[in-house]
Amino acid sequence: MVRVELVIPNKLGLHARAAGKLVEAASPFDCEIWLNKGQQRVNGKSIMGILTLAAARGETIVMEITGPDEERALKVLKKLVLSGFGEKA
Amino acid sequence: MISIPVRYLYDHLYKDLDLEILAGEKGMDRAIRIARIQKPGLALAGFLDQLHRDRVQILGATELSYLETLDQDLGDERMDQLCSAGVSCLIIAKNLIAPESLVNLCELHQVPLLRSPEITSSLIRRVTVYLEDVLAPETSVHGCLVDVFGVGILLIGKSGIGKSECALGLVARGHRLVGDDVVVLRRKMQDAIFGSAENLIKYHMEIRGLGILNIRDLFGVSSIRKSKKIELVVELVEWHNDLKVERLGLEDNTYSMLGLEIPYLNIPVRPARDLTMIIEVAARNHLLRRMGFNAAKEFDKTLNERLASQTQDTGKPDLESME
């Protein structure tokens, strides 16, 4: 299992489109992906799950990935989050 | 361990129970950790052994009239012991008059002293029901909860296996959605687990290709419900050749959640298998089993009887069938 703590950088936070991008990026990997915010724990391949986190800018989410291509998944997803989901601010 | 401050109880119940704060307002952040309330009658009589911290104490006519029979000093001492024992708060029933020294002691020890016009038995019941609800052990699962013919079915399985599609199919056939993707589970009344939707996404569902849907708007108010007891867990699994699946239905498998065992089925997914219909039938079968009819076991019994009657007499005692 690999694990990373990420601070949401973009202005709008983990909004619907951002969640969509995250799920789209996560789904191809043959891994279990879990996102945690505080006590909440949701599946990283589920849009509705990620939306329930309602993670705003500056909040920390913890990503846990388990599976054969976990390292690659971590790299890709971490990059996506830290780039602010490809948004400007 | 789950706890709530007394303030929560007050905020949630002051309208229903017409609660007023008589003293100890500074102690409103004291924790309540146990749902069962206590009547501190014996504690007031001097037996403090079973007086529990972190519990709500309810004072009715019995306790207050007993206090009146005590000498002023002794009564004050007992009330002081009660207030300094770490109890969460005191609630007086029936709008009874609070002894002056109790008011002072509650203020001193910062123990909230509340009062309600409700009679003692109903006050106990309503406070307990409320506390059991808010203090219930809670967790959440990745799955969908649907009420099918009154049976609460939790669909679980890997992401993309078709849980939401299956739940949508059930809703389209007139069943009711409780939650999609994130289901909050709470154990209530010792032997039951109730599931509900996460507040932000309740009544919503995501279907690949369609996006986010509002089920209540699409199918109407009868297509949703707020919470439902979970009676059956159905796991959808990918079909592959060495998959072990129940073929007879003779085994009673269970799934462990919050310390309870819930009946469990494992259903393989394959093109041309109408999952919605299979889940509906699983619900019907569960209803039958709940009433004491188990088709697999009935059939097994009939078959065994047939086999026994056709068995040729070999002259030797048949040890196996005699077991």
How far apart (Å, rounded) are the C-alpha atoms in residues A18 and A28? 17
Q: Decide if pLDDT at B7 tops 90.
A: yes
pLDDT of residue B246: 77
Side-chain-side CA neighbours of B187 within 13 Å: the count stands at 14
What band does B4 get if pLDDT is binned at 50, 70 and 90?
very high
How much is the mean pLDDT over chain B? 91
* pLDDT band at B316; cut points 50, 70, 90: low
Q: Which helix (H) or strand (E) holds B13?
A: helix B6-13
How many residue pairs from chains A and B have C-beta atoms closer than 8 A? 41
Indicate if B189 and B302 belong to the same structural domain.
no
Say whether both B230 and B253 belong to one domain.
yes
In 3D space, the residue among B201, B21, B227 whose CA is nearest the CA of residue B136 turns out to be B227
Q: Is the model's pLDDT at B319 over the cut of 90? A: no
Q: Closest to A46 (Cβ–Cβ): which among B159, B200, B204?
A: B159
Query: Region B147-151: what's the mean pLDDT?
Result: 97
Chain A residues close to B206, C-beta within 8 Å: 46-48
**DSSP letter string over A10-65?**
STT-S-HHHHHHHHHHHTTSSSEEEEEETTEEEETT-HHHHHHH-PPTT-EEEEEE
Contacts by residues B281-284 (CB-CB < 8 Å, ≥ 24 positions apart): B282/B153, B282/B232, B282/B234, B283/B148, B283/B149, B283/B151, B283/B153, B283/B232, B284/B149
Instruction: Please tell me whether the interface predicted TM-score (ipTM) of this complex is above 0.85.
Output: no
Could you tell me if B281 and B160 lie in one domain? yes
Contact B83, B109 (CB under 8 A): yes
pLDDT attached to residue B313: 67
CATH number of the domain enclosing B185: 3.40.50.300
CATH for the A2-86 domain, from 3.30.1340.10, 3.40.50.720, 3.30.590.10, 3.40.640.10 = 3.30.1340.10
Chain A CB within 8 Å of residue B140 CB? yes
d(CA B113, CA B26): 11
Find chain B residues with C-beta within 8 A of A45's C-beta.
159-160
pLDDT score of A74: 94
Are B272 and B234 part of one and the same domain?
yes
The pair of three-digit structure tokens given for residue A5, joined into one six-digit string? 């703590």
Between CA A51 and CA A65 the distance in angstroms is 19
How is residue A35 written in tokens? 């996102």
For residue B52, pLDDT beyond 90: no
CB-based contact A42 B140, cutoff 8 Å = yes
Are B56 and B120 within one domain? yes
Q: Where does B222-294 have alpha helices with state H?
A: 275-290
CATH number of the domain bearing residue B82 = 3.40.1390.20
Model confidence pLDDT, tens digit, residues B186-212: 988 778 999 999 888 899 999 989 999
Return the domain boundaries, chain A: 2-86
B155 lies in the same domain as B177? yes
How do residues B80-98 score in pLDDT, each as one tens digit?
A: 999 999 999 999 999 999 9
Statement to judge: residues B311 and B272 lie in one domain: no
- What pLDDT shows up at residue B78? 93
pLDDT at site B322: 54
Containing structural domain, residue B75: 4-134
Q: Please indicate, yes or no, whether residues B227 and B243 belong to a single structural domain of this protein.
A: yes
Cβ-proximal residues to B314 (8 Å cutoff; 6+ apart), any chain? none
pLDDT (0 to 100) of residue B248: 80
Which pLDDT score, from 0 to 100, does residue A35 have?
95
Residues 149-168 of B with CB under 8 A from A: 159-160
Angle at B126 between CA B120 and CA B129, to 5 degrees: 135
Domain-ending residue, one of B100, B134, B168: B134
In terms of domains, do B54 and B88 share one? yes
Q: pLDDT band at B317, cuts 50/70/90?
A: low
Q: B182, A27: Cβ pair inside 8 Å?
A: no
**Residues of A with catalytic roles:** 15
SS3 assignment, position B195? strand
B298 and B288 fall within a common domain: no
Give pLDDT tens digits for A50-71. 999 999 999 999 999 999 999 9
Give B119-131 pLDDT, tens digit per residue. Answer: 999 999 999 999 9
**Per-residue buried b or exposed e for A34-47, using 16+ beta carbons within 10 Å of the residue's own CB:** bbbbeebbbbbbbb
Same domain, B257 and B191: yes
Q: Is A37 in CB contact (< 8 Å) with chain B?
A: no
A16 Cβ under 8 Å from any chain B Cβ: yes
Q: Give the pLDDT of residue B190.
A: 74
Residue B315 is predicted with a pLDDT of 61
pLDDT of the residue at B48: 87
Q: Do B181 and A49 touch (CB under 8 A)?
A: yes
Residue B323 in this model has a pLDDT that exceeds 60? no
- Based on the domain organization, do B208 and B129 belong to the same domain? no
| CB-nearest partner of B201 from A43, A45, A51 | A51
